[in-house]
Amino acid sequence: MPTTFIWKGRTEEGLPVTGETEAENEGELLLALRKKGIIPRYVKEKEEKKFFGFARVSQKDILFFTRQFATLFSSGVPVLQAFDALIGQIKNKSFKKVLIQLRNDIEKGSSLADAMKKHPRVFSSLFVNMVRAGEEGGMLDKVLQRMADYFEKMIKLRRKIIGAMIYPSLVIAVAVLVVAIIMIFVIPTFAKLFAEMGVDLPLPTRVTIAMSNFMARSGIFILSGVIGFFIFIKFLRRSAKGKKITDAIFLKIPLLGVILLKASLSRFARTLGTLLGSGVPILNSMEIAARASGNKVIEDIVIEMREDVTAGKSLTEVLKSKPIIFPPIFVQMVSVGESTGKTDEMLNKVADFYDEEVDNAVANLMSMLEPALIVFLGVTIGFIVISLYLPIFKLGEVAGRGG
């Protein structure tokens, strides 16, 4: 695949020139430049825009690749030909380069799992372990289909969580913004008018004006504090200890904490079920599923549980010992799965159950939040309006008695 190079050089007349040119390799580029009478001084492969030091490959890209590769492979298309077909369809240039490297490694004799393992930023340990199990068990096509289903459900769950967090945040932000605009820009006009009238202001009016003055003087500091707080949380979560602290706090937030816990249990159950169903050993599966839960509290608890499993306890027993995280229904369904030899299927059913629970919890949150915000805005704006009209009524009464 041609690569884009950035180059600088001089013409035969000594004039400086620069440009971007596609070529198969640097040698081909240098030859092409010299044919044009350009003496190259600097040549470098063009870097793509990166996200935190690495060009981002989205979950949608991974899902598309997995689904298409599974379809081609299960249809009998050889691996290398399948990669050739997919490379031409991938639009993400970074991902395309990774797939080219995978193809080259496989052509040299590497297994698909080993080739993927070289790209941990793109292919997670979950993906690599499942592909390895599929290759060793001769069921790579089924594993790939299972992974595609897994990614599809994880993307849907992620959308639900984002919706549960973003929608209330936006609604609250709009409500706060409306009140702030009234307090900072509208109230001072009335305050000036009342001062010119020279009328004694009632208590609600004095409270409203005092709050307006406070927000006008300190609004920038309040806003800076809020932004600073979110930046602090972001940096805090970069460390394992900080992530555990914040995850524990998030789980205790009313309503939202329940949604986050159920979503984490869904991710854990689906990942563990998918891994076990693909033949990955239970200890490896538990470790990978713990990280996939997305919650550091649950991750640490599951990592500790691995020691009990190593000691010979069943999965049901170790889950039952952590009732704070794993509810009775979770434990009971896993128990049924172990007793029937279908633990992976029951874990996927548990995940489906919690997906529905997340849907219901999000719907309940929305149904409770909307009237609560309407009441908040109604009471707040109503108080402001009444406090502004009280001095006018009082002035009218004084004028009426004077007449």
Residue 272 has pLDDT above 50, yes or no: yes
10 forms beta bridges with 16, 39
Range name among 44-53, 250-259, 293-302 with the lowest pLDDT average: 44-53
**DSSP code per residue over 83-108:** HHHHHTT---HHHHHHHHHHHHHHHT
**DSSP code per residue over 234-257:** HHHTTSHHHHHHHHHHHHTSTTHH
Give the pLDDT of residue 47.
57
Residue 52 has pLDDT above 50, yes or no: no
What average pLDDT does the segment 245-252 reach?
Answer: 90
Residue 369 has pLDDT above 70, yes or no: yes
Residue 1 has pLDDT above 50, yes or no: no
Give the pLDDT of residue 347.
92
**Predicted confidence band at 401 (pLDDT cuts at 50, 70, 90)?**
low
Give the residue, 64 or 25, on which the prediction is more confident.
64
Please report, to the nearest 10 degrees, the dihedral formed by the alpha carbons of residues 316, 285, 253, 235 taken in order. Answer: 150
CA gap 341, 335 in Å, rounded: 10
3-state helix, strand, coil in the chain (%, to 5): 75, 5, 20
Backbone angles phi, psi at 58, to 5 degrees: -80, 165
Integer CA distances (angstroms), 85 to 58, 110, 379, in order: 20, 19, 61
Residues 6+ apart with CB under 8 A from 372: none
Give the pLDDT of residue 349.
92
Each residue's pLDDT tens digit, 296-346: 999 899 888 988 888 888 889 999 988 888 999 999 999 999 999 888 899
What average pLDDT does the segment 149-164 reach?
Answer: 80
Joined together, the tokens standing for residue 22 give: 């596609």
Give the pLDDT of residue 265.
92
Residues 6+ apart with CB under 8 A from 163: 362
What average pLDDT does the segment 229-245 reach?
Answer: 88
Residues 6+ apart with CB under 8 A from 54: 94, 121
- The whole-chain average pLDDT of the chain stands at 83
What average pLDDT does the segment 146-153 reach?
Answer: 85
What average pLDDT does the segment 233-238 reach?
Answer: 86
Give the pLDDT of residue 51.
39
Residues 6+ apart with CB under 8 A from 271: 126, 150, 285, 288, 289, 292, 293
Backbone angles phi, psi at 15, to 5 degrees: -80, 135
Structure-token match 């040698």, residue found = 27
**Predicted confidence band at 10 (pLDDT cuts at 50, 70, 90)?**
confident
Q: Is 45 left (phi over 0), alpha (psi -120 to 50) or beta?
A: beta
Give the pLDDT of residue 53.
40
- Burial class of residue 150 (count of CB atoms within 10 Å of its CB; 0-12, 13-18, 19+): buried
Each residue's pLDDT tens digit, 100-148: 989 888 888 888 889 988 888 888 888 888 888 888 878 888 888 888 8
E runs forming strands in 46-163? none
Each residue's pLDDT tens digit, 184-222: 888 888 888 888 777 778 888 888 889 888 888 887 888
CB 263 within 8 A of CB 354: yes
Joined together, the tokens standing for residue 74 give: 């299960």
Residue 363 has pLDDT above 50, yes or no: yes
CB 65 within 8 A of CB 99: yes
The angle subtended at Cα 328 by Cα 325 and Cα 331, nearest 5°, is 85
Residue 274 has pLDDT above 80, yes or no: yes
Q: For the whole model, what pTM was predicted?
A: 0.67
What percent of the chain has pLDDT above 90? 6
Q: For the chain, how many residues are written?
A: 403
**DSSP code per residue over 285-315:** HHHHHHHHT--HHHHHHHHHHHHHHHTT--H
Q: What is the DSSP letter of 76?
A: T
What average pLDDT does the segment 386-403 reach?
Answer: 68
